[in-house]
Every structure is written in C-alpha cells, then in structure tokens.
Amino acid sequence: MLANAFGVVLTLTAVAFFMWLFLGGKWTPDERKRLIVILLLFFGAAIFWSAFEQAGSSMNLFAERSTANTFLGWNFPASWFQSLNALFIIALAPVAAWLWVSLGKRNPSSPAKFGFGLVFLGLGFVVLVVGAQLSANGVRVSPMWLAVTYLLHTIGELCLSPVGLSAMTKLAPVRVAGMMMGVWFLGSSVGNFMAGTLARFYDKLPVPTIFSIVAATSIIAGIVFWLLVKPIRKMMEQRAH
C-alpha cells in the first residue's frame, strides 16, 4: 500500500509538472518544440529504466528459480548475477570512451545513442525470452543466458545514461535549464516505479511473455528515437550556437 501510494504521488507529480510546463509558461515556438523533445526523452528514460531495473526483480527471480547457478561445479547465490553489470561497466567504460573519441565526426549524436541504448536493452530481453522458453518445463538453463543479457544491458546503459542528462540540458530553454536536470532524474524515478509494477506479474503471466513485452517496448522506443535523430540533433546544435 505504501509503494502504491508513492507511485501515485510520483505519477501525479510528473503529469502536473509537464502540464504546468506546457500550459503555464510563455514559450516561443522553438522553445515549445524543445519541450516536446524533452517530454520524449523523459518517456524514453522511463522506459529504459523500467526495463533495466528488472535486474533486481524479475531477472533475479529468473536467476533463482530457472537458472543453474553453478560454475565449474561450484554453486553461487542467484543475487550474484547483479554484480555482472558493475563488472561489465568497469571493463567496457574505457572501451566506450575510446570508441566515441576515435570515431571523431562519425561519433553518433546523443539522440542516436539514446536509440542504441534502448535497442541494446531490448535485445538483452530477446536473449532472455529464449532462455525463459527453454526453462518453461522446469529445466534450469545455463547462466550464460543471463550473462549475455547483462552484457547487452550494460552496453545499452553506456550508450544512454551518460548522454541523457547532457541532452536534457542542451535542449532546455535557458530559463529552465537547471530544472531540466531534475526532470531527467524524475524520469528515472518513474521508470523504477514502473519496473516494480511490472515485476508483480512475474507469477501471474508466463515468464517469456513478460520478457517479450519488455523487449518489444524497448526496441520500438529505440526505433522511434532513431527516426527522430535528425530533428533532435538540429535543435541541440541550434541551442549550442
């Protein structure tokens, strides 16, 4: 009941804020377009974190109930899978930093990286759908299914998370630039609440169905951002000038 109450307050706060933002301010046509893009980034962030944070709920349940948690004959707790994200971050962050710099002018724009992040996240759940189907009859599957999923999720996080706040501030009208930083974290909060709400269906729906819904939502959201790359990048470049 407490979680539901906080969820309702959080959702109403987000709705009230954007209503106030669009209806209460005197914006120029260009600023209003930027605010619409910020709203899209807000939804994209919420979708990303709602799926990414399944690591501590539905994915952890899958690790406990449907995964053979053994390595070279050694048993380990299911919760240890959540350490993979941190290990992959440490290993891949220098690679990502080197890659973006080495690409130079071919470095993807922030909205493109946003799309890549969502698609990689969705692909991680596509892998997990196959693993969930193999475990449908009570068979415990290899831990590699979760390991590959966490690897893809980490790649997605490295694409989206570092550029999200930067994109928000570049798009924001000058008079509300500081406030837009809070909007990014508000999107993360809404995403975490959505993650917990979705995890409640783990025992009510077939596990492959849950992971399929998450995968499809993430990939579709990523494709939408790819389609919007050019107009969003143009707005960000104008803001920089």
Domain boundaries, the chain: 29-240
DSSP 73: T
Nearest-angstrom CA–CA distance, 203 and 58:
10
Please provide the average confidence, as pLDDT, over all residues in the chain.
87
In the predicted model, residues of the chain with pLDDT beneath 70 are 25, 232-241
Q: What is the model's pLDDT at position 90? A: 96
Cβ atoms of 181 and 169 within 8 Å: the answer is yes
Alpha carbon 116 to its chain centroid, in Å, reads 11
Q: What per-residue confidence (pLDDT) applies to 64?
A: 92
What's the confidence (pLDDT) of residue 234? 67
Please state, in angstroms and rounded to a whole number, the distance separating the CA atoms of residues 222 and 228: 10
| Per-residue confidence (pLDDT) for residue 114, from 0 to 100 | 87
Task: Give the pLDDT confidence score for residue 181 in this predicted structure.
Answer: 83
Closest CA to 188 of 4, 53, 96, 33: 53
How much is the pLDDT for 73?
A: 76
Give this prediction's pTM. Answer: 0.89
- What are the tens digits of pLDDT across the range 35-60? 888 888 888 899 999 999 999 889 99
Quickly name the fold that domain 29-240 has. Answer: Growth Hormone; Chain: A; (1.20.1250)
**DSSP states along 88-150:** HHHHHHHHHHHHHHHHGGGSPPHHHHHHHHHHHHHHHHHHHHHHHHHTTTSPPBPTHHHHHHH
Tens digit of each residue's pLDDT (9 = 90 or more) over 20-35 = 888 876 888 888 888 8
